[in-house]
Amino acid sequence: MSAATYNLRRPEERTTSVVFASPHSGRDYPVSFLRKSVLDEQQIRSSEDVFVDQLFRSAPEFGAPLLTALAPRSYVDLNRAPEELDQALIEGVRRISHNPRVASGLGVIPRVVANGRAIYRGKMTLDEAHHRISHYWRPYHDMLQTLLDESQNKFGEAILIDCHSMPHEALENVGPPGAPRPDIVLGDRFGATAASSVMERVEAAMTNAGLRVARNMPFAGAFIAQHYGRPSRGQHAIQIEIDRGLYLNETTLEPNENYENLRRLLMGVIAEIAAIGRPTEDQLAAE
């Protein structure tokens, strides 16, 4: 099951409570899905966090596991709750309450990709939606919870770094007019999903590398941060959004000339973040 739904790279030895995960970088597009879509292969990839799994691939070298999705976001969105079903897309769904994400077409089975472009001509069955959730969504989240439980059992805490990328245009109105745009947006639901001490150290890892960082605007974290962030229980979740313009030609979806530089830069950031969850010598001596 796991080979078809996600990729897990474990370190030779778990030395940190930090878990890195990328739910939106999957690019295994089922042929049947592409045939049903009205979009071409380039358009349907516009919601994809292109190459984010590759940017964070060094995490196991620093003692942390890296969990990455294989299914694309346009097929099933792992950063939504399984009950966020869109009645405008899926037959037989009753709307229980208003959900702005679902209403805009961005439920667990998306109806649109970036810029609101429709994926399908018509509707799909509820059975098809449930199939995607049971075969792709649940295995990913089961494994993510397993990794966090392992961190809790081994280190007494768990820190989830939920890795994403954002369109460069999403940053147009962030900050005062004329001020430099942030390179990174960190989301902790305005302090709800991670202790301030953890958030501050993750931010410092970014700024120490020369990256400009903003918090929670325009992205504060969605289902994954909300669901897994339980700082009162020692389980922290922080969403990282990277400006795609730093490493990607957003038209061709190919790496730009800065891709390798950013990947190397992030290796140092990843090492510093992994160190946040590594026991100190005093803690080890007390065990």
* pTM, rounded to two decimals: 0.94
For residues 237-253, give the mean pLDDT: 96
pLDDT digits (tens, 9 = 90+) for 30-62: 999 999 999 998 999 999 999 999 999 999 999
For residues 164-182, give the mean pLDDT: 84
Q: Containing domain of residue 160, as a range?
A: 2-286
Token code pair at residue 170: 């999403």
- Residues 89 and 126: their CA atoms lie apart, in Å, by 9
| CATH number of 186's domain | 3.40.630.40
Q: What is the sign, positive or negative, of the torsion defined by CA atoms of 66, 71, 73, 78?
A: negative
Nearest to 126 by CA among 180, 101, 164, 90: 90
Residue 229 is predicted with a pLDDT of 98
Residue 208 is predicted with a pLDDT of 97
Q: What domain count does the chain have?
A: 1
Cα dist. 190→186, 211, 252 in Å?
A: 10, 20, 34
Computed over every residue of the chain, the mean pLDDT equals 93
More confident residue, 2 or 262: 262
Intra-chain end-to-end CA distance of the chain, in Å: 37
Residue 173 is predicted with a pLDDT of 73
- Residues 53 and 223: their CA atoms lie apart, in Å, by 19
Token code pair at residue 34: 């592409």
Residue 196 is predicted with a pLDDT of 97
Does pLDDT of 286 surpass 80? no
